[in-house]
Structure 1
């Protein structure tokens, strides 16, 4: 068995004295593990850092074996990511989220979303918005997608500002007014065409977005780390610090 393609490094772990087991998110083969011979060498270590994108060739005698990777560097982001609290926390949280998916199942849209997020972790408002959209895409691939296109009660596409916690569908301002306290806020930047060019997201927008995705992740994903905060809490703390530094007038 053999295939070649692109992959983003998620994690590595030691295997013996010189080798590593590499976990990557690939374009056409989903989340995939394989052995890298000599992965702990001085030549390989800088390449096998989380967030870096590699050209991969995987080989195994049988399809269900661990197999071995041959690697070549393509896009080396790790150096920049390690200089930023948002970068470090972001790549850790993305790896955690992707581990919720079954191995070796292709998620091409999620792979492309991953590379976009990793390329924009240097700006707090852009990073926050993209990470929220990534979580929405993940929920969709897990079979728990939100429908934010029209009001669940009236079918209207105007003034959508809530999400029903029961149906995971958008609700308009008028239809949701009597149930305001029981509905989840829907930040307008998640609606098509709602964000004005050049406008900045407030920290309230970002926190509402993470509260929305967090509610449905918490409901459907039975994971202790997610429920106790874990990588998500570290990411939110890093984003808030960066946001306060870059956009103090939004607090």
Structure 2
């Protein structure tokens, strides 16, 4: 969904750009550094414009919506609220906090798994897996050396895989048989299960479409995350506690 979101590479995230990570800029903004916020604006405005243009109702002034979203984020940071993870994801959530398309009945388990990761892992996965940003740009935004980015992405993907399996096991909707099966998916090919467990595993997998799909998805959890990007952008209930200081509504919302 977001892989074609362009960045204004001539002015925003040009190849070889250097500077502080987004997290450092957010910290500077919390101390009143206006230049730090202008740098965040410079880095992320084009992606926000394009995102708003794609998902706003026809005829909506996307530039005004983006401006309001940046203003809301500035107020949040100034009020002491954390931007815990990728700045652009936080901006998108603010941009569409009360949009009708953001309504959903449930949160995909891979999204819950993503939310349980460290801020750095979420930042790397968001920009590399969901938005498919160039490695040089992600290194700048995440505040890491380019040579370290590959290793960090691999670690983040393993963490996502592990957390996603845990979410499946812990989900109330997961039947007991599947909850027994899922933690053993990686063990079965290694031949470390007892013969009785192997027989139970194979029998369950043969008849359970749910676990068959888990095995397929486990081969590329990053792709699963990418396809769940719509739900990632949707603000979660737990995100709302420190969003709009001083009674200010979400960007684009209407007051009565």
TM-score, normalized by the shorter chain, greater than 0.5: no
More contact order relative to length (CA 8 Å, sep ≥ 6): 2
What TM-score, normalized by structure 1, do the two folds share?
0.27
- Report the structure, 1 or 2, having the larger strand content: 1
What TM-score, normalized by structure 2, do the two folds share?
0.27
- Report the structure, 1 or 2, having the larger helix content: 2
